[in-house]
Copies of this chain bind each other. A is one copy, B any other.
Amino acid sequence: MTASFPTPAGYRVLERRDISAIVAEVDTLADKLGGTPDDWETSEISDGNMNAVFRVSGPEGSIVVKQALPYIRVIGEGWPFPVSRIAFEAEALERQLAALPGSVPEKLHYDESLGLLVMEDLSGYRVARLAFVKGRRFANFAEDMGAFLAHTLYRTSDFHLTTPQKKALAAGFAGNSHLCQTTEEVIFTGPYGERPFNRITEGNEEIAVRLREDSALKQAASEMKLAFRTKSEALLHGDLHTGSVMVTDTETRVIDAEWAFHGPMGFDPGALIGNLLLAAISQPGHADAADDRRAMTDWLLETAKRVWIEFDRGFRRLASEDRSEIFPHDILDAAARDAIVDRHLAAVFEDMVGFAGAKMIRRILGISHVEDFEAIGDVAMRAQLERHALRVARRLLLERREIADMDRVLAVLAEER
């Protein structure tokens, strides 16, 4: 696809058997595991597309070791990819931790030359997307993710930072541009044309052709691409789908910020809400005699709505408590400041709706499909549910300027059922 990227001096791709020797060199990690390297067990747990992820378990504890490969793991050397992405993941992890302690795994170690990030092992957690496929609900999900969005986006935005702080932050992530470029291609452009890795479920060939000829839709997706490239509003996670969230019954953690950059505030909530809508729409495909998945569907839709509401509420609260330089209190009273925040959030909502639509389409017509649909064995059923998602997503993109709130988003979903 592209020329390869330079790897750091001393970089090499690690095998499972290499890991323990490297961990042993870092006292804090060895202490955490306990015993000696001979007591340690390393297993590969990569279930994503991009990187190699290992769990190392010792007598006293376990850790997770993530190595960025110089290519996309599931594709191989034919698709080179910069190892430097993990530096941005490590940096974003720290920013997220600072913005909302407890929202991400603890960072234990970072090795630039090996492209290695070692984290707290979220053992007992599961990937939210897979849990949703199984029909599991999580009481704190919306509140936790709303708070994560509010804190990480607010505290890295011009609402909170001074201009020099914000510009330095944005510039510090400018080097993650190859990942941005990839996002732009696979989300806003690739799904609408012939691309080597695009895949379409059998039975959806016709709707795919129709959407790919839909000029208004392609223009809307392209406008979201332009917004993605030009708005520098907050430090984004950059890939906040339900596969980047790990959960227990009571806890929620965000992982995998390798796509982080300073961009449009609507992108992260759009990714999350778009993927919650996909989860909801896919539920009938997972129904069985014991569970028709109606309650699960309702919970997912309600959760999508509440994620926005909690984000919106949290953002407003942070803004009202903050005495930042951008809108000085001697010039603007509280009502004026609230009104500015209000209009800003309305603009973010519009972007969120557009990004959600684009994210939904790319998971069905593009390169990277999701377990929500892939796990549906009945291909005709899967195709039918995907078409529902495509119709909803198309309307989100086209009607994003008119859709005023999450109730309207959910109404579109019901209308297209």
Contact = CB atoms under 8 A, between A and B. Distances in A.
Interface in A156-189: 158, 162-164, 166-168, 170-171, 174-175, 177-178, 180-181, 184, 189
B219 A339 contact: yes
A170 B225 CA distance: 18
A204 to B, nearest CB: 19
B170 A226 contact: no
Contacts of A333: 215
What is the interface residue range for chain A against chain B? Answer: 35 or more
How many copies make up the complex? 2
Contacts of A340: 219, 222-223, 226
Contact of A167 (B177, B219, B231, B336): B177
A198 to B, nearest CB: 12
B162 A167 contact: no
A331 B167 contact: no
Interface string A305-347: 0000000000000000000001110111101100110011000
Contacts of A175: 167, 171
14 contacts: A158-B226, A158-B229, A163-B229, A164-B178, A166-B229, A168-B174, A184-B326, A215-B333, A215-B336, A222-B327, A223-B340, A223-B343, A230-B231, A232-B232
Interface of A: 158, 162-164, 166-168, 170-171, 174-175, 177-178, 180-181, 184, 189, 192-194, 215, 218-219, 222-223, 225-226, 229-233, 326-328, 330-333, 335-336, 339-340, 343-344
Given A170-B170, A171-B175, 14 more contacts: A158-B229, A158-B230, A164-B177, A167-B174, A168-B174, A170-B232, A184-B326, A192-B331, A193-B330, A215-B335, A218-B332, A222-B327, A226-B340, A226-B344
